[in-house]
Amino acid sequence: MDGDVSFKMPGADLKAQMMEFNLNNGLGTLTDVKGTIGDGLSISAQKVERTGERSFSISDGAITSCPPDYQEWVFKAKSLDVTMGGLASFRDVSLRFYDVPVFYSPYWFAPAVTERTSGLLLPGAGYSSTSGAFMNNSYYWAISGQDDATLYFDVMSLRGTHEGVEYRYVPAERTHGQMKADYMKDALYGEALWSVKYNHSQQLSDHLDALANLDMESRVSYTKEFSTDNFMKTRLYTDSNATLTSRSDAWYLSLTGRDQTGIEETPTEIFSRKPEMGATMLPRSFLNTPVVVNGDAAVTSFFSSRLAGDQNLDRAVFHPVVSSPFTLGRFLNLYPWANGYALWYSNGQAGAGPISTAYYSAGLGAEGPRMYRIYESDSDSYKHTVTPQLDYSYVPGFELNGVDRANTVKLDALDYSTPQSLLTFTLLNRVFSRKQDDEIFWASLKQGYDFNEARRTDATAKFPYTDLQLDIKSKPASWLLFNMDMTYNHYISQPDTMVQELGFAPSGSSFYLSYDRNYSRLQQTIAVNGLITYSPTPTIFSTGMVGYRLSERFSTEVSGIYDEYQHRYNGTLFLLKFQSCCWGASLSAGTRPRTISLPDGSLRQESETRFYVSINLKGLGDIGEKPSPLIQRKL
């Protein structure tokens, strides 16, 4: 047949000037072909031959997601063999931008459809002052309908090659897991760097769940060296754990094992719970009265490199809770509560053998009356509410089982039973906008008075008032956000901590700003068991991002993390982005400080500079790499 010939099948709509078609076997040839395939991809070819029920052979073909009259990019191939639901095999393939070739390969293959199909993924490339020029290559393997894998082979000119595999599986509706393993013989450190991460989640029955996580690293942390995730680059320890939980309407039972190992550059700490058996009773009414009871109990075997002797310790905890919330009149909510604590240890700080301790805590919370006022304006209506809160908490002094309470080994927060008699006042302010149909302002002002501190009889100075805490969350307009969390020490007339957050993106403007500032008068160190210690060195970090749209297609973004105390940058990132109707590209350059742990135990400080190039072809995917943002855009 000659003329405008149409050929349609699922996933393809083609037109040709001539078609030869065998009605008996369904095979045939189209000449001078144009049309669409897949999700918005345009195709043209000198000849398309149907060689089987789901297979085609294409000669002098081209594919793009750009409009027919303005093809900014196009993949061209001398020949292309396609099996629908399988692979597309290219020969003499090139990628052209504005008809200029930027990539060529004598052979290439990729998935032929949007379904999960094995094939090479588009490579990534860049440059690092530490790793040199690098190219990241990967292969996607669609093993079955329930599992798949990605194989990695990356080349770094200054550090060697990296091999890795990521395996994912979903064998049943309530079972899934993922494993990732990485290995490289690193020329920089002269030793092997490796990492194994595995997580598995399975619902064994309607009331029984299993969760397992394996987290292991080499002496020099692979993820700190190469991860683009900011949390993984800055975390302090690995965390392997397994938990079996059973739940009902009244109880929650668990069996847990956990192993945590520090991954600082200096000698590390090991902290394990092997195992921990726990039971939690969920809140419920006691004998159909207003009294609510709940609680938990646990038996744990600890191992910690900070412990003396054989570094093992067993602990049993029983912790009941009783409360009875009620309303007094129409405006006052009261919440009395009491906790009991009974703990047994196989050893104490003095190492003299088993010790046990028991004590209680109690308190009363009061909220109200809630007051409000309506403010009207020409453009909006606002509701302002003010709610006072008063809370008292009490933990008896060491006259109650004090010798053993003071002698417990401090492994986590449960082991601290510091006497307390604290009254806290909170004033909560909220503002609602009728026009925005949302809360636009929330502020909490809180301060406590410590009666134990006020009653001390020694000659040292007394500081009964706790830090004044101010917490603000506000979004007065769609283009403005401001949050702040501050603790203010009025004895020294300066904040102890302050976190500020700002987002600014004026409507109709090409400019946007995101900013975080974190200040702490005392430097915090978090151990692997979660306990926090302080040193008298302040930390002040400012993280900001400024973005600007240069034109309809071009935009730029600059971000950085600045250490105000050390007067140095802890990371910078420059990003130039281009976006058109059918493709986009980004050029990134960034720096970050690094601490090199040498085999002799010494440390070396240096700065790493990295360059990234990424191209997104609409309908096909990304070529190259993108760095993780230093700060998320607020608005």
pLDDT in tens, 108-119: 766 555 456 677
> Regarding predicted confidence, which is higher, 10 or 286?
286
pLDDT at 307: 75
Given a contact cutoff of 8 angstroms between Cβ atoms, the answer to whether 444 and 469 are in contact is yes
User: Tens digit of pLDDT for each residue in 313-364?
Assistant: 899 999 999 999 999 888 899 999 999 999 999 888 766 678 888 889 999 9
How is residue 414 annotated by DSSP? G
Confidence of residue 496 (pLDDT cuts 50, 70, 90): very high
Angstrom distance (rounded) from CA 154 to CA 132: 12
Overall average pLDDT of the 158-171 stretch:
96
pTM of the full structure:
0.82
Residue 606 tokens read as: 């240096």
> Regarding predicted confidence, which is higher, 316 or 25?
316
> Regarding predicted confidence, which is higher, 56 or 46?
46
Overall average pLDDT of the 47-72 stretch:
84
User: Tens digit of pLDDT for each residue in 233-292?
Assistant: 778 789 999 999 999 989 999 999 999 888 765 545 677 888 899 999 999 999 999 999
The pairing of strands 523-526 and 511-520 is unpaired
pLDDT at 400: 67
pLDDT at 369: 92
The three-state secondary structure class of 91 is strand
3-state SS, 154-186, equals EEECCCEEEEEEEEEEEEECCEEEEEEEEEEEE
Confidence of residue 492 (pLDDT cuts 50, 70, 90): very high
Q: How many CA atoms does the CB half-sphere of 253 hold within 13 Å?
A: 4
- Residue 14, pLDDT > 60, answer yes
Which of 33-42, 466-475, 528-537 has the highest average model confidence (pLDDT)?
Answer: 466-475
User: Tens digit of pLDDT for each residue in 580-596?
Assistant: 988 999 999 999 888 77
